[in-house]
């Protein structure tokens, strides 16, 4: 309800019908994944409560549903906050035309970005391709992010009885949310339930907690998956429970000084990466499926379903990779450092197409976001704009020793390894037999041997990369 420009506009204009449309029709290939749907259910539920049960839910093609609703209630206007997925940009453009043709004014607003993608351009009016100048020059030099808007002081929602009279009752409130059928039919959501509080209030509390504790030491601490130094705001941001403008300005006024300026700067630049991803997607609608560096379209990816399944299931035999993949499966989330490690492992050590990783994350992450997901997979695969060079191959064991030295994160998600001493927990396959036995670990039964040799597979990746002809686009 806070910093919601479309709602502010609607509330000023008169009585409001708040609507959410689950549009799997136009979303097609990028319909929401399972974890996202789970989050959405609870998020809508929280929103509906804030609206005293007056949220209207629809499911289907927004291009027919919304104009029909507007006619039915004789709406004086339709307003919404913009989304930037290519299918939504296209759909909403059509939607505006249809509404205007039938005489219903329609307008969209910016409720989810600090800077509009079309407003941050280089001198020559083309989009940035490198993050640092994009953010340091393009964004910071542009207008400062707007202050967040307050919750409308008066919100006159059309009431249940009125909707009932129009035959909309079964689609309102909790019944309407349930009718969207967003929750899993088999109960795999226990871990998610445990991990997350959902909704606008929860988002605010998480931000407050982060600014109280986590942000001090963020720049360094954010690299260590067992520490509490990340904000965990990504799913709240994705579902619009909190806006980047709220986060930006709250962080600015958190009174960080005396050496913590770097932490603030680093946190803001992470919001910058989110903006950069949206700009990349906006200017490259094929980002989710086509490598920005086109030579990677000819990369000799391997198809090896068993290795992919081992990666998905957290059964690769490389503890940090497995811990990350199990965190993802259990909680719908993965620490950013670990996302890089499992991504590098899939794409480089297993030579698997980044699309496979992208698809799995899309289905499992509660913060799955087309812009961030696509841009980040291209980044780690080395085929994107301003991406990590392909030859930058993470060694998952080295990363583990460096960023989870005490094995705290590993033990959290790999209880079968908990009794291994720190020296061997990062690479059980290197442990002497008696150490394994003493820790109750058996590489033949309760924890797998590595699906690939890290050293050898790294060399194969580099060789495969060398076979590509140098790109002209980069």
Specify the pairing of strand 19-22 against strand 56-59.
Answer: parallel
User: Is 250 an active-site residue?
Assistant: no
Of the residues 174, 250, 270, 315, which is catalytic? 270
Residues 123-162 that bind DNA (CB under 7 A): 131
Maximum pairwise Cα distance, the chain: 79
Among 68, 140, 175, 462, binds DNA (CB under 7 A): 462
User: Is 354 an active-site residue?
Assistant: yes
Residues 238-277 that bind DNA (CB under 7 A): 270, 273
Residues 387, 381: Cα–Cα separation, whole Å: 8
Minimum CB distance to DNA smaller for 13 or for 462: 462
Residues 131, 385: Cα–Cα separation, whole Å: 9
Q: Is 393 in the site for DNA (CB under 7 A)?
A: yes
User: Which token pair is 80?
Assistant: 């919404």
Minimum CB distance to DNA smaller for 306 or for 389: 389
Q: Is 458 in the site for DNA (CB under 7 A)?
A: yes
Other beta carbons within 10 Å of 205: 12
The stretch among 49-57, 204-212, 396-404, 436-444 that binds DNA (CB under 7 A) is: 396-404
Angle at the Cα of 284 from the Cα atoms of 280 and 287, rounded to 5 degrees:
85
Q: Is 332 exposed, middle or buried (0-12, 13-18, 19+ CB in 10 A)?
A: buried
Of the residues 30, 38, 354, 360, which is catalytic? 354
Residues 266, 136: Cα–Cα separation, whole Å: 12
Instruction: Give the contact letters, 64-103, x = binds to DNA (CB under 7 A), - = no.
Output: ----------------------------------------
| CB within 8 Å of 176: residues ≥ 6 apart | 55, 56, 57, 170
Residues 283, 277: Cα–Cα separation, whole Å: 10
Taking Cα atoms as reference points, which of 112, 124, 319, 81 lies closest to residue 234? Answer: 112
Taking Cα atoms as reference points, which of 254, 253, 208, 261 lies closest to residue 231? Answer: 208
- Rounded to a whole number of angstroms, the minimum distance from the CB of residue 340 to DNA is 6
- Rounded to a whole number of angstroms, the minimum distance from the CB of residue 466 to DNA is 6
Residues 413, 186: Cα–Cα separation, whole Å: 22
Residues 162-221 that bind DNA (CB under 7 A): none
- Rounded to a whole number of angstroms, the minimum distance from the CB of residue 392 to DNA is 5
Total binding residues for DNA by CB under 7 A?
A: 22
Minimum CB distance to DNA smaller for 39 or for 403: 403
Q: Is 108 in the site for DNA (CB under 7 A)?
A: no
- Rounded to a whole number of angstroms, the minimum distance from the CB of residue 227 to DNA is 14
User: Is 118 an active-site residue?
Assistant: no
Contact by Cβ (8 Å): 287, 369? no
Residues 334-353 that bind DNA (CB under 7 A): 336-337, 340
Taking Cα atoms as reference points, which of 410, 413, 411, 388 lies closest to residue 400? Answer: 410
Among 388, 417, 431, 436, binds DNA (CB under 7 A): 388
In the complex, the residues that contact DNA under the rule CB under 7 A are 131, 223, 270, 273, 336-337, 340, 388-389, 391-395, 398-399, 402, 454-455, 458, 462, 466
Catalytic annotation, residues: 270, 273, 301, 336, 354, 377
């Amino acid at each position: 309800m806070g910093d919601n420009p479309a709602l502010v506009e609607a509330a000023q204009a008169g009585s409001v019908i708040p609507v959410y449309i689950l549009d799997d029709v136009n979303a097609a290939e990028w319909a929401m994944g399972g974890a996202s749907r789970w989050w959405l259910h609870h998020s809508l539920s929280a929103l509906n409560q804030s609206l005293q049960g007056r949220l209207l839910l629809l499911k289907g093609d927004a291009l027919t549903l919304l104009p029909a609703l507007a006619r039915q209630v004789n709406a004086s206007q339709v307003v919404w906050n913009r989304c930037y997925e290519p299918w939504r940009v296209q759909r909403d453009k059509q939607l505006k035309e249809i509404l205007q043709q039938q005489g219903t004014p329609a307008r969209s607003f910016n409720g989810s970005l600090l800077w509009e993608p079309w407003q941050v351009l280089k001198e020559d009016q083309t989009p940035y391709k490198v993050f640092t100048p994009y953010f340091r020059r393009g964004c910071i030099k542009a207008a400062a992010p707007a202050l967040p808007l307050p919750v409308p002081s008066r919100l006159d929602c059309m009431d249940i009885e009125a909707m009932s009279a129009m035959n909309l009752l079964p689609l309102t409130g909790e019944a309407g949310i349930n009718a969207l059928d967003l929750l899993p039919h088999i109960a795999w959501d226990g871990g998610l339930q445990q991990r997350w509080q959902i909704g606008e209030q929860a988002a605010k509390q998480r931000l407050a907690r982060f600014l109280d504790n986590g942000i001090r030491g963020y720049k360094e601490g954010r690299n260590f998956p067992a520490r509490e130094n990340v904000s965990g705001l990504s799913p709240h941001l994705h579902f619009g429970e909190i806006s980047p403008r709220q986060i930006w300005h709250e962080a600015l006024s958190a009174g960080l000084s005396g050496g913590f300026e770097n932490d603030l700067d680093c946190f803001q630049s992470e919001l910058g990466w989110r903006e950069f991803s949206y700009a990349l997607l906006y200017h490259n609608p094929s980002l989710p499926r086509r490598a920005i560096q086109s030579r990677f379209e000819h990369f000799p990816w391997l198809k090896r379903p068993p290795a992919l399944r081992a990666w998905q299931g957290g059964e690769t035999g490389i503890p940090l990779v497995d811990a990350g993949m199990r965190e993802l499966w259990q909680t719908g989330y993965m620490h950013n450092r670990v996302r890089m490690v499992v991504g590098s492992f899939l794409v480089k050590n297993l030579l698997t197409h980044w699309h496979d990783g992208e698809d799995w994350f899309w289905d499992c992450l509660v913060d799955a976001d087309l812009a961030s997901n696509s841009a980040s997979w291209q980044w780690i695969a080395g085929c994107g704009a301003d991406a990590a060079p392909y030859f930058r191959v993470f060694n998952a064991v080295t990363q583990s020793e460096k960023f989870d030295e005490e094995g705290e994160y590993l033990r959290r998600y790999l209880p079968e390894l908990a009794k291994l001493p720190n020296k061997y927990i990062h690479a059980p396959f290197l442990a002497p037999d008696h150490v394994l036995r003493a820790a109750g670990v058996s590489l033949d039964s309760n924890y797998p041997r590595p699906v690939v040799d890290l050293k050898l597979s790294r060399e194969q990746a580099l060789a495969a990369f060398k076979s590509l002809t140098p790109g002209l686009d980069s």
